[in-house]
Amino acid sequence: MSVKMEKIEKNSVELEVTVDAKVFSAAVNKAAKALASKVNVPGFRKGKAPRIMVERHVGTAALYNDAADDILGAEYMKAVDEAGIEPVDRPEIELVQIEDGQDLIFKAKVTVKPEVELGSYQGLEVEKTAAMVTDEEVEQDLVRKQDQHAKILNLEEGSVQDKDNTNIDFSGSVDGVLFDGGTAEGYDLVIGSGSFIPGFEEQLIGAQIGQEVDVNVRFPDEYHVEDLKGKEALFKVKVNRIKRKEIAALDDEFAKDISEFETLDELKADLRDKLMKAAEQRAEAEYKNAVVAKAVDHASVEIPTAMIDNRIGMMLEDMAQNLSYQGLDLETYCQYTGTSMDSLKENIRPQASENVKTELVLEAIAKAEGIEVTEEELNSELAKLAERYQTSPENLKQALMARGEIGMYRQSLVSEKTVNFLVEQA
């Protein structure tokens, strides 16, 4: 094999690859045998027809194309290695010469990883925000604990109050006609949660258990159902049950009940300490991000569209995964938010571009500074990760290798070391 490379654009090269005639001839023979077992050649049993008869039956072009398809992938990867390039997208392949007994020649237009022009990245001046915790934050944390440890009362009688968990039947109509999705029985609704359209939940306050009430609302102009946008609607609602939280008083008894502390002051001090540790971690993370952002801002790189599009695809996959935990998919999410898939892609494009640039810059800094992850460091981090997932480091490493992810994991560790380097130098 021989490879010629020509730079045709800033982030694109063209490879002209010549594959030895013997390699292509062997591929043609292999393709003929494969075709012989699939097609019916008159006068021969399947798989027994000689190559010349198979070629006459299916045509020379079909035979040669099958042969080329069989070897192009492997030959292309060899050419990439020989040329020393890093493709970031699928190549555009053009067959230049394809004839048995002759060298196979093809061209591959390849989008490659761009070169980064680093700016200053050492001694960066970044202000670090001091971690602090206010009395109000401590009180808010106490209120959350009150809510978490509240007793749930099933009321036998009474009327709906704000924050109650109600169970209701309802049917909605517009101009006297019931509409799709507007009717349900035994629906659990927390008053004040904002789950329903504005005005619905507030009108249930004061309704008695077993009472039927009329709720008049207007659908928002930007509502996700076209036929209901801006429409006045009437809901017939019956309150079936009410569950109410009984909140304990904030006193020493409360502290004893929910913690190992004897007094409320001791509990508050412990909460303040934990909130301070969390605030310090946030401040440190924000500082790291600010240092990296400054180094990235000082660098310049022309990112191929393919890299950004690929990152958008990955971000959408992550988004779809998170939505699935809520029983939603991307299509439903777009309907609820009144957007389209194209709009969603464009909305996340700037973040995708910034993420790609950050990775490229960190990679370039690591290369410039000779930052690497040794095998010992890799195994040490794998051991920590394995402990978290309750498996052995060997099994985890084998799993990452089997999925082709060990290189990505190593690169993530290199990026982490590079970030730490930037912070130390800032």
Q: Is the pTM of this model over 0.85?
A: no
Nearest to 373 by CA among 425, 420, 426: 420
pLDDT in tens, 235-261: 999 999 999 999 999 999 999 999 999
- Overall average pLDDT of the 188-211 stretch: 94
- Cα 252 to the chain's mean position, in Å? 45
- Greater confidence (49 vs 339) lies with 339
- Overall average pLDDT of the 226-239 stretch: 93
Across all residues in the chain, what is the average pLDDT? 92
pLDDT-derived band of residue 355, with 50, 70 and 90 as boundaries?
A: very high
Q: Which residue has the tokens 């690929």?
A: 310
Q: Is the predicted pLDDT of residue 56 greater than 80, yes or no?
A: no
Q: Is the predicted pLDDT of residue 47 greater than 70, yes or no?
A: no
Q: Give start-end residues of each CATH 3.30.70.1050 domain in the chain.
A: 2-111
User: What percent of the chain has a predicted confidence (pLDDT) above 70?
Assistant: 98
CB atoms within 10 A of CB 28: 24
Q: Is the predicted pLDDT of residue 43 greater than 70, yes or no?
A: no
- Helices (H) and strands (E) in the chain — how many of each? 12, 9
Q: Give start-end residues of each CATH 3.10.50.40 domain in the chain.
A: 151-246
Candidate CATH numbers 3.40.50.620, 3.30.70.1050, 3.20.20.70, 3.40.50.720; the one for domain 2-111 = 3.30.70.1050
Q: What is the pLDDT of residue 45?
A: 65
Distance, in Å, from the CA atom of 239 to the CA atom of 252, rounded to the nearest integer, reads: 37
- The residue type of 178 is L
pLDDT-derived band of residue 101, with 50, 70 and 90 as boundaries?
A: confident
Q: What is the pLDDT of residue 63?
A: 86
Q: What is the pLDDT of residue 46?
A: 66
pLDDT-derived band of residue 277, with 50, 70 and 90 as boundaries?
A: very high
- CA dihedral sign, ordered 135, 136, 140, 141: negative
CATH number of 151-246: 3.10.50.40
Geometric angle at alpha carbon 177, from 195 and 333, rounded to 5°: 35
